[in-house]
Amino acid sequence: MLAQEFERIGKRLFTERLVGANFGNMSVRGEDGFYITRTGCYLDMPCNPVLVPMEGPAPGEASSEYRVHREIYRKTRHCAIVHAHPPHACAASLLFDEIFPQEDSEGELLCPVIPVVQGKPGSDELAHVVAEALMLGKLTIARGHGTFAAGKDLDEAYILTSLGAHACQVLWLLGQFG
C-alpha cells in the first residue's frame, strides 16, 4: 500500500534527521499524475498521499512543493522523489555552487557531483531549475532549502538523499566549510 511506503521512508528520513517536524515531502508517479504527501504532514506518521494531476490545478491539501514534483515528472523518467532538509546539505548549499562528494567512496560511486540550484521554495522558478538538474542526474540541492532526489522508487530517492547529507557532513568534518 502506498501510504505505508510513504510512512516507511518518512520514518527513515526522520530517524536520520534528514527532515524535522513537518518539513520535506515525497511523491510517486502514478498513471493519472503523481501521489504526494499532504501539506503539513509529518513524514514519520501515517498520512494518505494526495493525487495531483499532471495538468490543471492541484488539490489544496497537496504539499506546497507539488510544482517541483510535477515539473520533474514532466521532464524526466524518474518515478519517485524525496525532498528533505538535511542541515549539512543546506549549509553547504549556501557556500558552494556544486558539491563534490568524492571524499567518500559512496559519493564518488553514486553521485560524483551535486549541483546547487536557486529558487524560492514552492515556486515555478524552483520547479524549472530542479527539473533541469534532475534531467542530468538524480540529486540536487536547492540553495538554503534542501535536497531533491529522484529515482526508480522511494528507496532509491531516499538512499540518494542520505548520500547527499552524508557527503556534505563529511565535507564539514574535513573543514571544507571554511
Q: Tens of pLDDT along 157-175?
A: 999 999 999 999 988 998 8
Quote the CA–CA distance of 19 and 84 in Å, as a whole number.
Answer: 5
Domains and their CATH numbers in the chain? 2-172 (3.40.225.10)
pLDDT of residue 108: 64
pLDDT beneath 50: ranges in the chain: none
**Entry pTM:** 0.95
**Residue of 164, 137, 154 lying closest to 25 (CA atoms):** 154
pLDDT of residue 27: 98
